[in-house]
């Protein structure tokens, strides 16, 4: 059912899987134009040129070994290859209570919205949820989370602007124990993965959580903007080096971007994608579904030729605003 919501969200902005590739397949044989078109599609999905080239080398080898001659056969194999590379399934949702989840990521990746949506998810499964606004740096970040808390009917622990985020986490963890909360979700400040001191601050946040609640944080989720390019790998690497990241949230997947760097992160660092975010409502966060993700990677968003500005595509009209 979740996959459906996700697919519907994508259908608004994308044509069916293999949209443009399907037209390449019209040519019967595996011409160099076919391979180049394939490379272009993979690169434009932000998989990165190295992964694209590796996939194509593998596909060429497979086509030789199996005597494949048609484009559609290759695309089938590509689909299989991509799915196999995504074999890393999301970690099962932890059973222990209280459960502490910390969201990390660069500035503007979508942490606060994701925090609210994760809170909604746990509420829906009957858990008592608390939010902690450990972003004491950005102006009005606590207010933003408090508004979400009001809408969700969830208590939000905040700190003074500019105060130590570790203290907010400490208070929130204490409150979690005192009020018998099941799930504590911590929203942290956006930080560039190249800022040594801010990464150290993140380590402290995790340590503080673990001091109050042994074993915490149980989940550390890296929130990644779907439009991010190859720098996403550097982000994932740096955050993984600093703290025990357990999974990735690919946010804003309903944009025209396909989030291919999420695939790259999964392949290179072995980090599972836990959730994908899209749309505008609290429900618009789905558990990761490899099949839907791969379909989305290869789907063609409305094709707009360069240097021309064609009329808006009626299929892309977003119905929810």
Partner 1 sequence: MLSAGRSLSAKQTVRRLVCQSWCAKMFETLTERLQGVFRNLSRRGKLRPADVDTALQEIRLALLEADVHYQVVKDFLETVREESLGEDISRSLNPAQQVVGILNRELIVTLGEPAPLTLVGEKPRAIMLVGLQGSGKTTTAAKLARWLRGHGERVWMVAADPRRPAAAEQLKVLGDEIGVPVFFDPKLSPPNLCEAGKEEASKGGASVVILDTAGRSQLDQPMMEELRDIRDAIHPVEVLLVADAMTGQEALRIAQGFQEPLGLTGMILSKMDGDARGGAAISMRVVTGVPIKFIGTGEARDALETFDPNRLASRILGMGDLRGLYEKAEGSFDMDQAGQQAARLLQGEFTLEDFLEQLAMMRRMGPLGKLLEMFPTGFGGANLQVDGNVAERQLIRTQAIIQSMTSDERRRPDLLNASRKRRIASGSGTTVQEVNQLLRQYKQMRRMFKKAGKRGMTGLPFKLR
Rounded Cα distance, 25 and 9, in Å: 27
Dump the DSSP string for 253-271: TTSS---HHHHHHHHHH-P
Residue 102 phi/psi, 5-degree rounding, is -120, 130
Judged by CB under 8 A, the stretch of 2-10, 82-90, 170-178, 287-295 that binds partner 1 is 82-90
Based on the shown chain and the rule CB under 8 A, indicate whether residue 188 belongs to the binding site for partner 1.
no
* Identity of the residue, 101 or 106, whose beta carbon is nearer to partner 1 in the bound complex: 106
- Containing 247, the helix (H) or strand (E) segment is strand 247-251
Based on the shown chain and the rule CB under 8 A, indicate whether residue 48 belongs to the binding site for partner 1.
yes
Q: What is the DSSP letter of 98?
A: S
Judged by CB under 8 A, the stretch of 3-11, 39-47, 95-103, 164-172 that binds partner 1 is 39-47
CB 271 within 8 A of CB 245: yes
Based on the shown chain and the rule CB under 8 A, indicate whether residue 110 belongs to the binding site for partner 1.
yes
When binding is defined by CB under 8 A, the residue of 10, 45, 75, 212 that contacts partner 1 is 45
In degrees, rounded to 5, the angle at the alpha carbon of residue 62 between the alpha carbons of residues 61 and 68 is 115
Based on the shown chain and the rule CB under 8 A, indicate whether residue 194 belongs to the binding site for partner 1.
yes
* Identity of the residue, 142 or 274, whose beta carbon is nearer to partner 1 in the bound complex: 142
Rounded Cα distance, 228 and 192, in Å: 13
Based on the shown chain and the rule CB under 8 A, indicate whether residue 187 belongs to the binding site for partner 1.
no
When binding is defined by CB under 8 A, the residue of 100, 109, 217, 288 that contacts partner 1 is 109
Peptide bond into 217 cis (omega under 30): yes
3-state SS class at 72:
helix
How many other CB atoms are there within 10 angstroms of residue 95's CB atom? 7
Per the structure block, which two tokens stand in for 321?
A: 């605003």
CB of 315 to partner 1, least distance (A): 10
Site for partner 1 in 200-229 (CB under 8 A): 225, 227-229
Based on the shown chain and the rule CB under 8 A, indicate whether residue 106 belongs to the binding site for partner 1.
yes
Site string for partner 1, 224-243 (x = CB under 8 A): -x-xxxxxxxxx--------
* Identity of the residue, 74 or 173, whose beta carbon is nearer to partner 1 in the bound complex: 74
When binding is defined by CB under 8 A, the residue of 26, 92, 180, 197 that contacts partner 1 is 197
When binding is defined by CB under 8 A, the residue of 84, 92, 95, 162 that contacts partner 1 is 84
User: If binding means CB under 8 A, how many residues of this protein chain bind partner 1?
Assistant: 78
Site for partner 1 in 242-301 (CB under 8 A): 252, 254-258, 260-261, 264, 267-268, 270, 301
Site for partner 1 in 147-186 (CB under 8 A): 147-148, 161
Sheet with 247-251: list strands edge to edge.
155-157, 129-134, 183-188, 99-104, 219-225, 247-251, 273-277, 285-287
Based on the shown chain and the rule CB under 8 A, indicate whether residue 24 belongs to the binding site for partner 1.
no
* Identity of the residue, 215 or 229, whose beta carbon is nearer to partner 1 in the bound complex: 229
Q: Considering Cα of 278, then 262, then 273, then 211, what sign does the dihedral take?
A: negative
CB 301 within 8 A of CB 45: no
* Identity of the residue, 96 or 200, whose beta carbon is nearer to partner 1 in the bound complex: 200
Rounded Cα distance, 1 and 275, in Å: 14
């Amino acid at each position: 059912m979740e996959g459906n919501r996700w697919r519907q969200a994508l259908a608004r902005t994308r044509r069916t899987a293999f949209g443009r590739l399907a037209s390449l397949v019209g040519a019967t044989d595996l011409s160099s134009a076919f391979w180049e078109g394939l490379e272009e599609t993979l690169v434009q999905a932000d998989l990165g040129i190295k992964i694209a080239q590796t996939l194509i080398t593998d596909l060429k080898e497979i086509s030789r070994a199996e005597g494949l001659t048609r484009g559609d056969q290759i695309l089938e194999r590509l689909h299989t290859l991509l799915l196999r590379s995504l074999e890393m399934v999301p970690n099962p949702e932890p059973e222990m209570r209280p459960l502490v989840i910390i969201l990390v990521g660069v500035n503007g990746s979508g942490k606060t919205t994701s925090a609210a949506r994760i809170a909604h998810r746990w509420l829906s499964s009957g858990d008592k949820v608390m939010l902690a606004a450990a972003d004491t740096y950005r102006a009005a970040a606590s207010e933003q989370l408090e508004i979400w808390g009001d809408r969700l009917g969830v208590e939000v622990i905040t700190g003074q602007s500019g105060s130590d985020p570790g203290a907010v986490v400490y208070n929130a963890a204490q409150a979690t124990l005192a009020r018998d909360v099941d799930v504590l979700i911590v929203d942290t400040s956006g930080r560039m993965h190249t800022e040594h001191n801010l990464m150290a601050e993140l380590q402290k946040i995790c340590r503080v959580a673990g001091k109050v609640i042994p074993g915490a944080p149980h989940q550390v989720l890296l929130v990644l903007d779907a439009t991010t390019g190859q720098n996403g790998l550097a982000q994932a690497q740096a955050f993984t080096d600093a703290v025990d990241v357990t999974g990735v949230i690919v946010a804003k997947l309903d944009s025209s971007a396909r989030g291919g760097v999420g695939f790259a992160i999964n392949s290179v660092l072995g980090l599972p994608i836990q959730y994908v975010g899209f749309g505008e409502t609290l429900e618009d966060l789905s558990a990761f579904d490899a099949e839907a993700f791969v379909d989305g990677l290869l789907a063609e968003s409305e094709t707009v030729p360069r240097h021309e500005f064609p009329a808006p595509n009626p299929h892309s009209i977003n119905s929810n605003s």
